[in-house]
Amino acid sequence: MCQSPFHPLLASLPKCEHHMHLEGSLSPSLLENLAHRNSVSLPSPDEDPAFASPSALTDRYARFTSLDDFLRYYFIGMSALIHAEDFEALAWEYFVRAHADGVVHAEVFFDPQAHTSRGIKYETVVDGFAAACRRAEKELSISTKLILCFLRHLPVSDAVSAFGIAKDDLTTGRLSGIGLDSSEKGFPPGAWKGIYDEAKASNIKRTAHAGEEGPVEYIREALETLDIERIDHGLRLADDKTLMREVARRKILVTLCPLSNVWLHCVNSVAELPIRTFLQEGVHFSLNSDDPAYFGGHYILDNWCAVQEAFSLTVDEWKSIASAGITGSWCEASRKEVMLSKLEDVVDAHKKLQ
C-alpha cells in the first residue's frame, strides 16, 4: 500500500475511470472458474507452464515483454467468456474493485470483434456487460458508460461490420461511443476514417488509442483524420509541443495509464511519464488502470499512488486531475455537478495537507 501521507486523500477523491478494458480485468482465478464452468480448454502446462495455476499465470503476467506479448494472453483469456452471465460476472468483478478504490464513474471499453470472431453473438456480450452496468449503478452508485472498441490488427472491413451491428445501440445511447485499440505499431489510425466520419455524422462519441507504442504522429492523425474527442494513452503527446498545446487549448482529455506503461516497457518508470509537463501546459488528463488483471492487479488507486510517489503532487494538483476527469467524462452535466461537489468536500476535508 502507498505509504504517502497523501494516501487518505488519494483514496477518498472521487475518481472517473476512462481507460479500462473489461476483458483486461479478467483475473486468473475468474478465468480458471469460467473455463471450468464452460468446459473451455486453456493451454496445457506442457504447452505453456503459465497455465499450471492462477498464481503461475499471475507470475507470467509480470514478465510481459511488449504490448503484443500481453495481447497473446489477453485473447486466450477471452476464450472462457461464453454466456451473458460470464460477461456480467467479469464486469461486476471490476466494478466491485473499482468501487473500493473510490471510482464513482466508469467509462469502460469492450472488444466485440474478439468475441463475435469466435462465434459469440454480439447481443450476448452487450447484454452481459449492460446487466453489470445496471447493477453497478443500483448497488454501488457508480454511473457507467460502455465504449465499443475496434481491434486495429483486424481488417478495417471487419470493423465496418461490427459498427453496423452496433449502430442502433450507439445511436440510442445503450453504448456511449467508439474507440480503437489492440496492436498500435504498424496500424496508423487513419485507416478507420470512414467509420469515424459516419460516427461523427450520427453524433456518436469518438476516442482512439494513440501514442502508446506508436509515435506522436499517430496522435495527430487520430485528431485530424478521425476527429476524436479524447486521446487514449497519449504518452507521446509531449514529443510535439505544438500539438500538446493545441490539445490543452481544446481541453481534449488524455487518458493516461501509468502502471500499464511501465508493465509493457513503454517507459522504465512512472517518473518518466509526462505528468509534470501536462500539468504545467494545462493538458487535461485522467489516470487509469487499463488492463489491471494483467498488470500486477494494479487498479486505479494503485496508479494514483504510483503517480504521487513519483511526482509528489500537491492537493491543488490532485484536485485539478480529479476535476479534469470529471469534466472530461461523457456523462450528463447533472452527474458532473454531483461529482464536483463531492470533490470539493473531499479536498476541504484534507486541507491540512496543503
Asked about 212 being catalytic, the answer comes back as: yes
Q: What cell was used for 233?
A: 494513452
What Å distances lie between residue 253 and 87, 284, 311, CA to CA? 28, 5, 20
- Of 188, 131, 191, residue with least CA distance to 157: 191
Query: Which is catalytic among the residues 107, 212, 213, 221?
Result: 212
Sequence letter at residue 157: S
- Spatial separation of the C-alpha atoms in residues 136 and 131, rounded to whole Å: 9
- Spatial separation of the C-alpha atoms in residues 82 and 342, rounded to whole Å: 39
In the chain, at which residue ranges do the beta strands (DSSP E only) sit?
15-17, 103-110, 143-151, 177-181, 205-210, 230-233, 253-256, 285-287
For 200-236, b/e burial (b = at least 16 CB within 10 A) is: eeeebbbbbbbbbbbbbebbbbbbebbebbbbbbbbb
What Å distances lie between residue 312 and 71, 220, 282, CA to CA? 33, 30, 18
Q: How far is CA 75 from the centre of its chain?
A: 16
Grid-cell match 473510490, residue found: 102
Catalytic positions: 212
